[in-house]
Amino acid sequence: MSATVSSVPEATGPLIGDRYLAGNFAPVDTEVTAFDLPVLHGAIPAVLDGRYLRNGPNPFAGEDPSAYHWFTGAGMVHGVRLRDGKAEWYRNRWVRSPQVARQLGEVPPENPWDDDGVFAANTNVVDIGGTTMAIVEAGGPPIELSDELETLRVGNLDGTLPKAFSAHPKRNPATGELHVAAYWWGWGNQIQYLVVGTDGRVRTAVDVPLPGAPMVHDLAITERWAVLFDLPCLFDLEAAMGGARLPYTWQPDYGARLGLLPIDGSGEARWFEIEPCYVYHPLNAYEDAQGRVVLDVARHRSTFAGDRHGPNEGSVTLDRYALDPATGAVGHDRLDDRSQEFPRHDERVLGRAYRYGYTAGFDSDGRHLSMRGAYKHDLVAATSTAHDYGPGRSTGELVFVPESPDAAEDDGWLMSFVHDATDDHSELVILHAQDVGGDPVARIALPQRVPMGFHGNWIPTPA
Ligand SMILES: [Fe+2]
Q: How far is the CA of 136 from the centre of ligand 1 (A)?
A: 9
Q: How far is the CA of 386 from the centre of ligand 1 (A)?
A: 22
Q: How far is the CA of 89 from the centre of ligand 1 (A)?
A: 26
Residue 100 parent element (H or E): helix 98-103
Query: From residue 314, how far is each of 9, 70, 101, 309, 387 by CA, in Å?
Result: 18, 17, 37, 14, 22
Query: What is the pLDDT averaged over residues 43-68?
Result: 94
**Is the predicted pLDDT of residue 358 greater than 70, yes or no?**
yes
Q: How far is the CA of 442 from the centre of ligand 1 (A)?
A: 26
**Is the predicted pLDDT of residue 424 greater than 90, yes or no?**
yes
**Is the predicted pLDDT of residue 313 greater than 50, yes or no?**
yes
Quick: pLDDT tens for 163-176: 999 999 999 999 99
Quick: pLDDT tens for 377-389: 999 999 999 999 9
Quick: pLDDT tens for 249-292: 999 999 999 999 999 999 999 999 999 999 999 999 999 999 99
Q: How far is the CA of 282 from the centre of ligand 1 (A)?
A: 9
Q: How far is the CA of 456 from the centre of ligand 1 (A)?
A: 10
- Label residue 290 exposed, middle or buried (CB < 10 Å: 0-12, 13-18, 19+): exposed
* Domains defined for the chain, CATH in brackets: 17-48+163-460 (2.120.10)
Q: How far is the CA of 389 from the centre of ligand 1 (A)?
A: 23
Do residues 157 and 128 lie in contact, with contact meaning Cβ atoms separated by under 8 Å? yes
Q: How far is the CA of 306 from the centre of ligand 1 (A)?
A: 20
Q: How far is the CA of 296 from the centre of ligand 1 (A)?
A: 15
Q: How far is the CA of 85 from the centre of ligand 1 (A)?
A: 30
Q: How far is the CA of 11 from the centre of ligand 1 (A)?
A: 25
Rounded Cα gap, residues 345 and 354, in angstroms: 9
Rounded Cα gap, residues 126 and 120, in angstroms: 15
Q: How far is the CA of 454 from the centre of ligand 1 (A)?
A: 6
**Is the predicted pLDDT of residue 2 greater than 80, yes or no?**
no
